[in-house]
Amino acid sequence: MYIGFIGLGIMGKPMAKNVLKAGYDVLVFDFNENSITELANEGANKASSGKEVAEKTDVIITMLPNSPNVDAALFDENGIAEGLSSGKTVIDMSSISPVASQEFSTKLEELNVDFLDAPVSGGEPKAVDGTIAVMVGGDKSVFDKYYDLMMTMAGSVTYVGEVGAGNITKLANQMVVATNIAAVGEAMTFVKKAGADPKLVFEAIRGGLAGSTVMDAKMPMILDRNFEPGFRIQLHIKDLQNALDTSHDVNASIPITAQLMEIMQSLKIDGLEGKDHASVAQYFEKINNI
Ligand code: NAD
Protein backbone atom coordinates (compact mmCIF):
# COMPACT_ATOMS: atom_id res chain seq x y z
CA MET A 1 0.00 0.00 0.00
CA TYR A 2 1.50 3.31 -1.17
CA ILE A 3 0.62 6.25 1.11
CA GLY A 4 0.20 9.89 0.08
CA PHE A 5 0.60 12.59 2.72
CA ILE A 6 -0.46 16.21 2.11
CA GLY A 7 0.08 18.93 4.75
CA LEU A 8 3.45 18.80 6.47
CA GLY A 9 3.01 21.40 9.22
CA ILE A 10 3.56 21.16 12.97
CA MET A 11 1.51 17.94 13.10
CA GLY A 12 1.69 16.52 9.60
CA LYS A 13 5.48 16.44 9.46
CA PRO A 14 6.03 14.13 12.48
CA MET A 15 2.95 12.07 11.57
CA ALA A 16 4.27 11.43 8.05
CA LYS A 17 7.66 10.52 9.54
CA ASN A 18 5.99 7.89 11.73
CA VAL A 19 4.22 6.36 8.71
CA LEU A 20 7.63 6.16 7.02
CA LYS A 21 9.25 4.63 10.12
CA ALA A 22 6.58 1.91 10.10
CA GLY A 23 7.93 0.81 6.72
CA TYR A 24 5.38 2.27 4.29
CA ASP A 25 6.42 4.05 1.09
CA VAL A 26 5.18 7.64 1.37
CA LEU A 27 4.72 10.34 -1.28
CA VAL A 28 4.47 13.86 0.19
CA PHE A 29 3.25 17.29 -0.86
CA ASP A 30 2.98 20.68 0.87
CA PHE A 31 3.06 24.29 -0.37
CA ASN A 32 6.21 24.61 1.75
CA GLU A 33 9.15 23.23 -0.25
CA ASN A 34 11.39 23.02 2.87
CA SER A 35 8.94 20.63 4.55
CA ILE A 36 8.92 18.38 1.47
CA THR A 37 12.74 18.34 1.47
CA GLU A 38 12.84 17.49 5.19
CA LEU A 39 10.59 14.47 4.60
CA ALA A 40 12.55 13.45 1.50
CA ASN A 41 15.70 13.40 3.67
CA GLU A 42 13.90 10.82 5.84
CA GLY A 43 13.10 8.62 2.84
CA ALA A 44 9.80 10.01 1.48
CA ASN A 45 9.20 10.57 -2.23
CA LYS A 46 8.43 14.11 -3.41
CA ALA A 47 5.36 15.21 -5.34
CA SER A 48 4.64 18.57 -6.93
CA SER A 49 0.85 18.59 -6.57
CA GLY A 50 -2.07 16.95 -4.81
CA LYS A 51 -3.09 15.54 -8.20
CA GLU A 52 0.26 13.71 -8.51
CA VAL A 53 -0.09 12.31 -4.96
CA ALA A 54 -3.58 11.00 -5.71
CA GLU A 55 -2.57 9.51 -9.07
CA LYS A 56 0.37 7.58 -7.65
CA THR A 57 -0.82 6.41 -4.21
CA ASP A 58 -3.60 4.19 -2.84
CA VAL A 59 -4.47 6.16 0.31
CA ILE A 60 -4.18 9.93 0.59
CA ILE A 61 -3.85 11.40 4.09
CA THR A 62 -4.48 15.15 4.49
CA MET A 63 -3.42 17.20 7.54
CA LEU A 64 -4.40 20.80 6.78
CA PRO A 65 -5.60 23.77 8.86
CA ASN A 66 -9.36 24.10 8.17
CA SER A 67 -12.30 23.17 5.92
CA PRO A 68 -11.46 25.69 3.12
CA ASN A 69 -7.88 24.34 2.96
CA VAL A 70 -9.12 20.75 2.64
CA ASP A 71 -11.66 21.89 0.04
CA ALA A 72 -8.87 23.57 -1.95
CA ALA A 73 -6.50 20.61 -1.61
CA LEU A 74 -9.22 18.26 -2.84
CA PHE A 75 -10.99 20.24 -5.55
CA ASP A 76 -8.77 23.11 -6.80
CA GLU A 77 -6.95 22.80 -10.12
CA ASN A 78 -4.20 20.16 -9.83
CA GLY A 79 -5.81 19.03 -6.59
CA ILE A 80 -6.35 15.54 -5.21
CA ALA A 81 -9.72 14.90 -6.93
CA GLU A 82 -8.13 15.27 -10.37
CA GLY A 83 -5.80 12.36 -9.62
CA LEU A 84 -8.29 10.08 -7.85
CA SER A 85 -9.77 6.94 -9.33
CA SER A 86 -12.19 4.27 -8.19
CA GLY A 87 -11.11 2.25 -5.13
CA LYS A 88 -8.79 4.85 -3.58
CA THR A 89 -9.31 6.31 -0.10
CA VAL A 90 -8.90 9.79 1.38
CA ILE A 91 -8.28 10.01 5.14
CA ASP A 92 -8.63 13.61 6.29
CA MET A 93 -6.91 14.01 9.68
CA SER A 94 -7.38 17.80 9.82
CA SER A 95 -9.73 19.30 12.44
CA ILE A 96 -12.51 20.79 10.33
CA SER A 97 -16.28 21.33 10.29
CA PRO A 98 -18.21 18.03 10.47
CA VAL A 99 -20.62 19.42 7.86
CA ALA A 100 -17.69 19.98 5.48
CA SER A 101 -16.48 16.41 6.12
CA GLN A 102 -19.90 15.09 5.11
CA GLU A 103 -19.89 17.25 1.95
CA PHE A 104 -16.42 16.04 0.94
CA SER A 105 -17.44 12.44 1.57
CA THR A 106 -20.53 12.80 -0.65
CA LYS A 107 -18.52 14.36 -3.49
CA LEU A 108 -15.84 11.66 -3.30
CA GLU A 109 -18.45 8.91 -3.21
CA GLU A 110 -19.41 10.01 -6.74
CA LEU A 111 -15.84 9.05 -7.78
CA ASN A 112 -16.17 5.73 -5.92
CA VAL A 113 -13.56 6.94 -3.42
CA ASP A 114 -13.85 6.15 0.32
CA PHE A 115 -13.50 8.91 2.91
CA LEU A 116 -12.76 8.92 6.63
CA ASP A 117 -12.73 12.02 8.85
CA ALA A 118 -10.02 11.21 11.36
CA PRO A 119 -8.95 14.26 13.37
CA VAL A 120 -6.40 13.88 16.12
CA SER A 121 -5.67 15.09 19.62
CA GLY A 122 -2.42 15.28 21.54
CA GLY A 123 -0.35 18.08 20.03
CA GLU A 124 3.15 18.10 18.59
CA PRO A 125 4.92 16.03 21.31
CA LYS A 126 2.47 13.16 20.87
CA ALA A 127 2.64 13.49 17.07
CA VAL A 128 6.43 13.07 17.37
CA ASP A 129 6.12 10.09 19.77
CA GLY A 130 3.42 8.48 17.63
CA THR A 131 0.95 8.54 20.52
CA ILE A 132 -1.80 10.89 19.30
CA ALA A 133 -5.44 9.94 19.81
CA VAL A 134 -7.32 9.54 16.51
CA MET A 135 -11.14 9.77 16.41
CA VAL A 136 -12.58 8.36 13.22
CA GLY A 137 -15.89 8.78 11.38
CA GLY A 138 -16.87 6.83 8.28
CA ASP A 139 -17.80 3.40 7.08
CA LYS A 140 -16.73 0.82 9.70
CA SER A 141 -15.27 -1.51 7.07
CA VAL A 142 -13.08 1.33 5.74
CA PHE A 143 -12.03 2.12 9.32
CA ASP A 144 -11.06 -1.54 9.85
CA LYS A 145 -9.06 -1.59 6.60
CA TYR A 146 -6.90 1.39 7.63
CA TYR A 147 -6.74 0.86 11.39
CA ASP A 148 -3.14 -0.43 11.28
CA LEU A 149 -2.04 2.47 9.08
CA MET A 150 -3.56 5.03 11.46
CA MET A 151 -2.01 3.21 14.45
CA THR A 152 1.49 3.90 13.04
CA MET A 153 0.89 7.53 14.13
CA ALA A 154 -1.19 6.93 17.23
CA GLY A 155 -1.57 5.64 20.76
CA SER A 156 -5.27 5.06 20.13
CA VAL A 157 -7.53 4.99 17.08
CA THR A 158 -11.23 4.99 17.97
CA TYR A 159 -14.24 4.49 15.71
CA VAL A 160 -16.91 7.06 16.64
CA GLY A 161 -19.60 6.67 13.94
CA GLU A 162 -20.54 7.81 10.45
CA VAL A 163 -18.62 10.49 8.50
CA GLY A 164 -18.65 13.75 10.47
CA ALA A 165 -18.63 12.01 13.86
CA GLY A 166 -14.82 12.26 13.94
CA ASN A 167 -14.97 16.05 13.78
CA ILE A 168 -17.96 16.28 16.16
CA THR A 169 -15.76 14.37 18.64
CA LYS A 170 -12.79 16.63 17.96
CA LEU A 171 -14.87 19.79 18.49
CA ALA A 172 -16.05 18.42 21.84
CA ASN A 173 -12.39 17.76 22.67
CA GLN A 174 -11.44 21.34 21.76
CA MET A 175 -14.27 22.77 23.88
CA VAL A 176 -13.02 20.82 26.90
CA VAL A 177 -9.37 21.76 26.27
CA ALA A 178 -10.17 25.49 25.91
CA THR A 179 -12.28 25.43 29.07
CA ASN A 180 -9.48 23.70 30.97
CA ILE A 181 -6.82 26.18 29.85
CA ALA A 182 -9.05 29.11 30.76
CA ALA A 183 -9.78 27.59 34.18
CA VAL A 184 -6.05 27.11 34.82
CA GLY A 185 -5.24 30.63 33.60
CA GLU A 186 -7.94 32.27 35.70
CA ALA A 187 -7.09 30.26 38.83
CA MET A 188 -3.35 30.96 38.58
CA THR A 189 -3.96 34.68 38.09
CA PHE A 190 -6.10 34.57 41.23
CA VAL A 191 -3.29 32.72 43.06
CA LYS A 192 -0.74 35.41 42.07
CA LYS A 193 -3.05 38.24 43.09
CA ALA A 194 -3.81 36.54 46.41
CA GLY A 195 -0.08 36.24 47.13
CA ALA A 196 0.64 32.49 46.82
CA ASP A 197 3.23 30.84 44.56
CA PRO A 198 1.63 29.40 41.34
CA LYS A 199 4.44 26.81 41.03
CA LEU A 200 3.76 25.40 44.50
CA VAL A 201 0.00 25.58 43.98
CA PHE A 202 0.42 23.61 40.73
CA GLU A 203 2.50 20.93 42.51
CA ALA A 204 -0.12 20.75 45.28
CA ILE A 205 -3.20 20.37 43.07
CA ARG A 206 -2.02 18.49 39.97
CA GLY A 207 -2.47 15.05 41.60
CA GLY A 208 -5.96 15.87 42.90
CA LEU A 209 -9.34 16.26 41.26
CA ALA A 210 -8.36 19.53 39.52
CA GLY A 211 -5.38 17.88 37.83
CA SER A 212 -5.66 17.17 34.10
CA THR A 213 -3.62 16.37 31.02
CA VAL A 214 -4.21 19.96 29.95
CA MET A 215 -2.95 21.32 33.28
CA ASP A 216 0.19 19.15 33.08
CA ALA A 217 0.90 20.23 29.49
CA LYS A 218 0.10 23.94 29.75
CA MET A 219 0.94 24.98 33.32
CA PRO A 220 4.73 24.53 32.84
CA MET A 221 4.49 26.74 29.72
CA ILE A 222 2.60 29.41 31.69
CA LEU A 223 5.14 29.25 34.56
CA ASP A 224 8.10 29.44 32.12
CA ARG A 225 6.44 32.21 30.06
CA ASN A 226 6.94 29.99 27.01
CA PHE A 227 4.11 30.62 24.60
CA GLU A 228 5.74 29.27 21.43
CA PRO A 229 3.38 26.89 19.58
CA GLY A 230 2.40 24.01 19.95
CA PHE A 231 -1.17 24.75 19.12
CA ARG A 232 -1.76 28.24 17.80
CA ILE A 233 -4.53 30.50 19.12
CA GLN A 234 -5.70 31.01 15.52
CA LEU A 235 -6.32 27.25 15.14
CA HIS A 236 -8.25 27.14 18.41
CA ILE A 237 -10.37 30.11 17.26
CA LYS A 238 -11.07 28.09 14.10
CA ASP A 239 -12.18 25.09 16.20
CA LEU A 240 -14.41 27.17 18.49
CA GLN A 241 -15.97 28.88 15.45
CA ASN A 242 -16.66 25.45 13.90
CA ALA A 243 -18.18 24.33 17.23
CA LEU A 244 -20.41 27.44 17.42
CA ASP A 245 -21.51 27.10 13.78
CA THR A 246 -22.29 23.39 14.21
CA SER A 247 -24.05 24.06 17.50
CA HIS A 248 -26.31 26.66 15.91
CA ASP A 249 -27.02 24.33 12.98
CA VAL A 250 -28.27 21.63 15.37
CA ASN A 251 -30.09 24.09 17.66
CA ALA A 252 -27.75 23.57 20.65
CA SER A 253 -26.50 26.26 23.04
CA ILE A 254 -22.83 26.33 24.15
CA PRO A 255 -22.42 29.54 26.18
CA ILE A 256 -19.01 28.74 27.72
CA THR A 257 -17.58 28.13 24.25
CA ALA A 258 -19.01 31.50 23.13
CA GLN A 259 -17.24 33.20 26.06
CA LEU A 260 -13.97 31.38 25.28
CA MET A 261 -14.26 32.53 21.68
CA GLU A 262 -14.38 36.16 22.87
CA ILE A 263 -11.32 35.61 25.11
CA MET A 264 -9.35 34.13 22.22
CA GLN A 265 -10.56 36.91 19.91
CA SER A 266 -9.23 39.44 22.43
CA LEU A 267 -5.82 37.70 22.32
CA LYS A 268 -5.93 37.87 18.53
CA ILE A 269 -6.54 41.63 18.73
CA ASP A 270 -3.43 41.79 20.95
CA GLY A 271 -1.44 40.13 18.13
CA LEU A 272 -1.06 36.77 19.87
CA GLU A 273 -2.91 34.59 17.34
CA GLY A 274 0.33 32.87 16.33
CA LYS A 275 1.18 31.97 19.94
CA ASP A 276 0.31 28.78 21.80
CA HIS A 277 -3.20 28.55 23.27
CA ALA A 278 -1.54 28.46 26.73
CA SER A 279 -1.43 32.25 26.27
CA VAL A 280 -5.13 32.31 27.23
CA ALA A 281 -3.57 32.74 30.71
CA GLN A 282 -2.29 36.13 29.54
CA TYR A 283 -5.87 37.32 29.02
CA PHE A 284 -6.57 36.85 32.74
CA GLU A 285 -3.26 38.50 33.67
CA LYS A 286 -4.12 41.48 31.47
CA ILE A 287 -7.56 42.11 32.94
CA ASN A 288 -5.99 41.80 36.42
CA ASN A 289 -3.10 44.17 35.68
CA ILE A 290 -0.36 41.62 36.34
P1 NAD B 1 0.14 23.99 10.34
O2 NAD B 1 -0.41 25.32 9.97
O3 NAD B 1 1.42 23.91 11.10
O4 NAD B 1 0.34 23.09 9.01
C5 NAD B 1 -0.54 23.09 7.93
C6 NAD B 1 0.26 22.72 6.66
O7 NAD B 1 -0.63 22.58 5.56
C8 NAD B 1 1.27 23.79 6.26
O9 NAD B 1 2.54 23.19 6.11
C10 NAD B 1 0.71 24.34 4.93
O11 NAD B 1 1.73 24.75 4.05
C12 NAD B 1 -0.01 23.13 4.41
N13 NAD B 1 -1.07 23.40 3.44
C14 NAD B 1 -2.16 24.23 3.58
N15 NAD B 1 -2.95 24.13 2.50
C16 NAD B 1 -2.38 23.22 1.66
C17 NAD B 1 -2.74 22.69 0.40
N18 NAD B 1 -3.88 23.03 -0.23
N19 NAD B 1 -1.91 21.79 -0.17
C20 NAD B 1 -0.79 21.39 0.46
N21 NAD B 1 -0.38 21.86 1.66
C22 NAD B 1 -1.18 22.77 2.26
O23 NAD B 1 -1.02 23.25 11.12
P24 NAD B 1 -0.91 22.07 12.21
O25 NAD B 1 -0.63 22.65 13.55
O26 NAD B 1 -0.04 20.98 11.67
O27 NAD B 1 -2.44 21.57 12.24
C28 NAD B 1 -3.02 20.81 11.18
C29 NAD B 1 -4.40 20.38 11.63
O30 NAD B 1 -4.28 19.57 12.82
C31 NAD B 1 -5.33 21.54 12.01
O32 NAD B 1 -6.64 21.24 11.63
C33 NAD B 1 -5.20 21.60 13.53
O34 NAD B 1 -6.36 22.18 14.12
C35 NAD B 1 -5.04 20.13 13.88
N36 NAD B 1 -4.34 19.84 15.13
C37 NAD B 1 -3.25 20.57 15.49
C38 NAD B 1 -2.61 20.28 16.71
C39 NAD B 1 -1.41 21.07 17.16
O40 NAD B 1 -1.04 20.95 18.36
N41 NAD B 1 -0.76 21.86 16.30
C42 NAD B 1 -3.08 19.25 17.52
C43 NAD B 1 -4.17 18.49 17.09
C44 NAD B 1 -4.80 18.80 15.89
144 — pLDDT class (breaks 50, 70, 90): very high
**Ligand 1 neighbourhood includes 153 CB (under 6 angstroms):** no
- What is the spatial distance between Cα 129 and Cα 112, in angstroms, rounded to a whole number? 34
- What is the spatial distance between Cα 112 and Cα 84, in angstroms, rounded to a whole number? 9
Give distance in angstroms: CA of 231 to centre of ligand 1.
Answer: 10
> Of 72, 47, 62, 54, whose CA–CA distance to 113 is shortest?
54
DSSP summary character for residue 29: E
Choices 3.40.50.720, 3.40.1350.10, 3.40.50.970, 3.30.390.10: CATH for 2-162: 3.40.50.720
Residue 218's pLDDT is what? 96
**Ligand 1 neighbourhood includes 231 CB (under 6 angstroms):** yes
Residue 157's pLDDT is what? 98
Domains 2-162 and 168-287 share a fold: no
Mark whether 170 is an active-site residue. yes
Domain ranges of the chain: 2-162, 168-287
93 — pLDDT class (breaks 50, 70, 90): very high
Choices 3.90.480.20, 3.40.50.620, 1.20.120.420, 1.10.1040.10: CATH for 168-287: 1.10.1040.10
Give distance in angstroms: CA of 176 to centre of ligand 1.
Answer: 21
Secondary element (H or E) of residue 136: strand 132-137
The closest residue, in CA terms, to atom 31 on ligand 1 is: 65
**Ligand 1 neighbourhood includes 53 CB (under 6 angstroms):** no
Which tens digits make up the pLDDT trace of 95-106? 999 999 999 999
> Do 229 and 223 contact (CB within 8 A), yes or no?
no
User: Taking the complete model, does pTM exceed 0.90, yes or no?
Assistant: yes
The number of C-alpha atoms within 13 Å of 145 and in the hemisphere containing its C-beta is 16
- For the chain, the C-alpha Rg in angstroms (whole number) is 20
Cis status, amide bond into 164, omega within 30 of 0: no
Task: Write the ipTM.
Answer: 0.99
Give distance in angstroms: CA of 20 to centre of ligand 1.
Answer: 19
**Ligand 1 neighbourhood includes 69 CB (under 6 angstroms):** yes
Residue 35's pLDDT is what? 98
Pocket probe mutation, ligand 1, options 17, 27, 29, 31, max atoms within 8 Å of Cβ: 31
Give distance in angstroms: CA of 132 to centre of ligand 1.
Answer: 15
